Amino acid sequence: MYEITLKVKPMTLIDTVSSFPRAQDCLLDPEKLQKLARYSFILVRNVALCFAVTPCPDKRFELGFYSECIYCRENWCTEIFWFPFNSMSYPGTLITRVSNRILHWKPAFDQCWVRTMNKVTVPSQALPRDEDYLMKKGIAFAENGYIRMFTKYLVEHPSNVPGFLKAGITKILMPLKDLKVCEKLPMGIHYDSWVDLCPTTGVEFVFDVSDVYEDYDLASKACQTVMDVVHSFGRRGKFPVNITMQVRWTGKSNCYMSPAAHKEGDSSTHAFYVCIVSVTGTPSWQEFVNEVARRFVTLSKQPHVHWAKQWGNIPWINTTYLRKVGTKILSCPVLFVATADSH
């Protein structure tokens, strides 16, 4: 016989606000990116935390006092999404469609979707009801159905991608601007439904970073690299990114298979992720991924990859990456081979 005591805590509530700054005012500006992301979670040594945990109210835990924690002073959680080509005018997207290549586009002017979340103890407004979430799922069904309907069209006629993304962020996401929603934490984090309606492919690179300006500069350069490659491909009539690029930070982990795993000689405190997603079957996708990977390894810190994403066809995967994962994972060949074969 065993006796177990469970402690039940009240459901966490969060206020979520969506904003749409230009890429030059968030992803491509290290100082502004630092303000968005810095202190967005408390880092607990050897524990991986997705985005954030409860901010510590004790001022003694502010940055500089203890190495175990970083006090949340800005946002509890921050997500940033970049949708290429959305700064183009509709006539510009039409010209791209006709000419089958990008003639004029400045990625720095694209608007990014920034979702900031902060925990609250008292609801700032009425919480959504079950009926509201049912309607939300209906809207999500329509949104993902919209992508699914255009999937074959985007694959067969890639020059339509700019117009597709322009319309998507303008008509679907922009109405969320400055909209504040108070809801239960699980519904705020897992806010999308019916994502399986649209089969996608993705790759995710991970950099070992710390809460210092140099690493936010690295993060900005990584984002700039992706934008530069998308731009260069577009000039050649190739559009390999037709959904989004998402960036995020997490704490480090003592799990061997985690992309945020501690490594021998590694003094970093965070992991910075760059995730790129496109529709399955997108032309030039692997060529694009290989070019991004080739440029990433020339940055001040070399990345590794997220195990759960597609990485097996990246040329440097059998050299650079295998050295980074360390002897601990390679000492488990059955696990390693099984994981590699699945990709």
Q: Tens of pLDDT along 66-82?
A: 333 333 345 677 789 99
Domains by residue range for the chain, with CATH: 13-341 (3.40.462.10)
Q: What is the pLDDT along the chain (343 residues), one digit of tens a residue?
A: 678 888 888 888 988 888 899 999 999 999 988 877 754 433 333 333 333 333 343 333 333 333 333 333 456 777 899 999 999 999 999 999 999 999 899 999 999 998 888 888 888 888 888 888 888 888 788 878 877 888 888 899 999 999 999 988 888 788 777 778 898 888 877 667 787 888 889 999 999 888 888 999 999 999 999 999 999 999 999 999 999 999 988 778 777 777 787 777 778 888 899 999 999 999 999 999 999 999 998 898 888 888 788 887 887 666 555 565 554 454 444 343 334 443 4
Q: Provide the 8-state DSSP code for 90.
A: H
The three-point CA angle 239-111-286 to 5° equals 25
pLDDT at 46: 30
Q: What is the pLDDT of residues 168-221, one digit of tens each?
A: 888 878 877 777 889 888 887 766 778 788 888 999 999 988 888 899 999 999
pLDDT of residue 62: 37
Query: pLDDT at position 323, please?
Result: 60
Angle at 114 between CA 38 and CA 240, to 5 degrees: 110
Question: How far is residue 47's CA from residue 311's CA, in Å, rounded to a whole number?
Answer: 25
pLDDT at 2: 79
Q: How high is the pLDDT of residue 343?
A: 41
CA Rg, the chain, in Å?
21
Rounded to two decimals, the pTM is: 0.79
Q: What are phi and psi of 261, to 5 degrees?
A: -65, 145
Measured CA to CA, the distance from residue 158 to residue 173 in angstroms comes to: 22
